[in-house]
Amino acid sequence: MTLKLYHCKGARSVRPLWTLEEMGLDYELVSMKFPPRFFQKDYLEVNPLGTVPFFTDGQAEMTESAGISQYLAEKYGPTDIALTVDHPEYGNYLNWIHRSDATLTFPQTIVLRYTMLEPEERRLKQAAEDYTQWFFARLRSVEQALEGKDYLCADKFTLADICTGYALYLATTLGFKDGFKPNTAAYYERLSARPAFQRAISL
């Protein structure tokens, strides 16, 4: 079966794309302009939600970036970037995979919407400011988790770092990088130096 990923440069689809690159899997990439529901109308026939990413593997169809990354690691592993259920840090690993989107990326998407994507007359400065503060409050969990460590789980690079690393990448595109605390800033530098990350954000 062909692994097929619908992708927009810089969007959440970076997570599964980065995963594919780290794992060295063969895949088909469909690159689109963001948001594709406006610029590529036929995309709604592929994914009626109009969201990115959209991923197919045979009969499997998926829309959630962290879930696709987890699926790839579990179905096409074993891989060094995944932890198994018997690992003592498995719960922490899963929590970071899902926290990365629900807790860290979500407030940034509100900022993105109300500072860049909405027409000028619909932009909401207060909403953008409030959700910026929300993001930085949640980012403290990353800073604390990295105290004395290079990576979030198991003393090695895993999917938890891919998924959380995307949230940090998105933050840099929004101009938030100067707000990173020392552990977070050093962590992002480690992640962004990885060749697979560099390939994923270039596509």
Q: List pLDDT tens digits, range 36-92.
A: 877 888 999 999 999 999 999 999 999 999 999 999 999 999 999 999 999 999 999
Stated pTM of the model: 0.96
Q: Give how many domains the chain has, as a whole number.
A: 2
Is residue 200 in a domain?
no
Q: Are residues 141 and 65 in the same domain?
A: no
- 23-31: Cβ within 8 A, 24+ apart: 23/72, 23/73, 23/76, 23/77, 23/79, 23/81, 25/72, 25/76, 26/2, 27/2, 27/3, 28/2, 28/3, 28/4, 29/4, 29/5, 29/203, 30/4, 30/5, 30/6, 31/7, 31/203
Is residue 201 in a domain?
no
Q: What average pLDDT does this structure show over 93-109? A: 97
pLDDT (0 to 100) of residue 1: 63
Expressed as residue numbers, the domain containing 15 is 3-76
